Amino acid sequence: MSFFEGVELLKKDKARGKRKLSGADKREARTGLAFLSPWIIGFLLFYLLPMIASFVFSLYDFNPAVPDQAKFIGFENWQRALVIDEEVRLSFFRTIHFMAISLPITLSFTLFLAVLMNSEHVIGKNIYRTLFYMPTMIPLVAGVLVWNGVLNEQTGWINVIIERLTGIEAVGTNGLRWLADPKLVYYAYTMFGLWGVGNGMIIFLAGLQGVPTEIYEAAQIDGAGWWRRLFRITVPLITPVIFYQLVLSVIASLQYFLAPFVLNDGTGFPEGMTRFYMVYFYKQSFSFFNMGYGATLAWLMFLVALVLTAILFGTAKYWVYYASEER
């Protein structure tokens, strides 16, 4: 949502136009810029220049161990990434595949928790809110290791519980091999992510608490049931919050790296399923030190992120609700 704040400021810039600055205005601008200088310098040093350099690197065959042997090769790296190297396409679609499973599950679970935590009928909400939030504080590496244990096909409690409750053969090599079965592994990874829903839950919750109660009362008088109220009033009114979470989650999933690296050292186990784009980028850049090619992969990821963000912002006007917006 913060993005829209920026848009507002841009409008103000325009409105001010090219009015001539007085001496006092100039002084004010100079002082302001002095305060912005850490960011401006940081932006140049750590964002803008490296981005440009990254593009230049992508035109070279470059290994930092032997920088003298760097060779300009034009768009060969790009050609390799886009046409020749199949792994780029595969790892990208794996990332999208994983995103298509984990994002809907995670977002709806987050919303589900927020709705429960907002319900007047739940006794002791504050305690549950704290407890649902708590795993978010556990370092992700530790969380992944704990889940890795509990999802173990032989000794993990999840399989034992499923088997005891349903009688389905879950334990053992014929059972549910959460982390070794290519069909299940994305669901297992999605579960790791559920331990990080705390922030999203709190943000949704604040969104829900911002919905005026009069609207509910009016709807109730009109005879709207609980589900109808949820999908016709609550969800539409918090679409800005959902949008914000969605943008952040899409960008974060694009860079998903930690779990496959911690659990399998990026080997892609099982059957290459977890060799996501970022894992492949890491392998090329920091295991094989093909930094020219790595820079190409990074730039490709940037372009994809740009396109995805643009698409999300483009669709925003069809489904994201802004109370103060004039249409």
Q: Which stretch binds another protein (CB under 8 A): 88-96, 174-182, 213-221, 240-248?
A: 240-248
Q: Tell me the closest approach of the beta carbon of residue 2 to another protein, in angstroms.
A: 5
Contact characters 210-229, another protein, x per CB under 8 A: x-------------------
**Residue 130 binds another protein, judged by CB under 8 A:** yes
Count of residues near another protein by CB under 8 A: 112
Q: Which of 99, 188, 254, 316 binds another protein (CB under 8 A)?
A: 254
Residue type, 292: G
- φ, ψ of residue 71 to 5 degrees: the values are -130, 130
Q: Which stretch binds another protein (CB under 8 A): 92-100, 158-166, 268-276, 313-321?
A: 158-166
Our measurement of the distance from residue 312's CA atom to the centroid of its chain's CA atoms, rounded to an integer in Å, reads 13
**Residue 60 binds another protein, judged by CB under 8 A:** no
Q: Which stretch binds another protein (CB under 8 A): 91-99, 153-161, 176-184, 213-221?
A: 153-161
Q: Which stretch binds another protein (CB under 8 A): 37-45, 100-108, 174-182, 216-224?
A: 37-45
Q: Tell me the closest approach of the beta carbon of residue 327 to another protein, in angstroms.
A: 17
Q: Which stretch binds another protein (CB under 8 A): 33-41, 86-94, 180-188, 216-224?
A: 33-41
Q: Which of 74, 139, 167, 314 binds another protein (CB under 8 A)?
A: 139
Please give the structure tokens belonging to residue 86.
């199949």
Q: Which of 175, 193, 207, 260 binds another protein (CB under 8 A)?
A: 207
Q: Tell me the closest approach of the beta carbon of residue 43 to another protein, in angstroms.
A: 7
Q: Which neighbouring-strand residues pair with 61? A: 71
Q: Which of 73, 90, 96, 146 binds another protein (CB under 8 A)?
A: 146
Q: Which of 149, 182, 236, 272 binds another protein (CB under 8 A)?
A: 149
Closer residue to another protein (CB): 156 or 175? 156
CB 254 within 8 A of CB 298: no
SS (H, E, C) the chain: CHHHHHHHHHHHHHHHCCCCCCHHHHHHHHHHHHHHHHHHHHHHHHHHHHHHHHHHHCCEECCCCCHHHCEECCCHHHHHHHHHCHHHHHHHHHHHHHHHHHHHHHHHHHHHHHHHHHCCCCCCHHHHHHHHHHHHHCCHHHHHHHHHHHCCCCCCHHHHHHHHHHCCCCCCCCCCCCCCCCCCHHHHHHHHHHCCCHHHHHHHHHHHHCCCHHHHHHHHHCCCCHHHHHHHHHHHHCHHHHHHHHHHHHHHHHCCCHHHHHHHCCCCCCCCCCCCHHHHHHHHHHHCCCHHHHHHHHHHHHHHHHHHHHHHHHHHHHHCCCCCCCC
Q: Which residues 106-125 are close enough to bind another protein by CB under 8 A?
A: 113, 116, 119, 121-124
**In this structure, what is the dihedral angle of CA atoms 307, 308, 310, 313, given to the nearest 10 degrees?**
180
Q: Tell me the closest approach of the beta carbon of residue 214 to another protein, in angstroms.
A: 20
Q: Which of 80, 135, 162, 211 binds another protein (CB under 8 A)?
A: 135
**Residue 267 binds another protein, judged by CB under 8 A:** no
Q: Which residues 298-327 are close enough to bind another protein by CB under 8 A?
A: 298-299, 301-302, 305, 309
Q: Which of 98, 186, 244, 276 binds another protein (CB under 8 A)?
A: 244
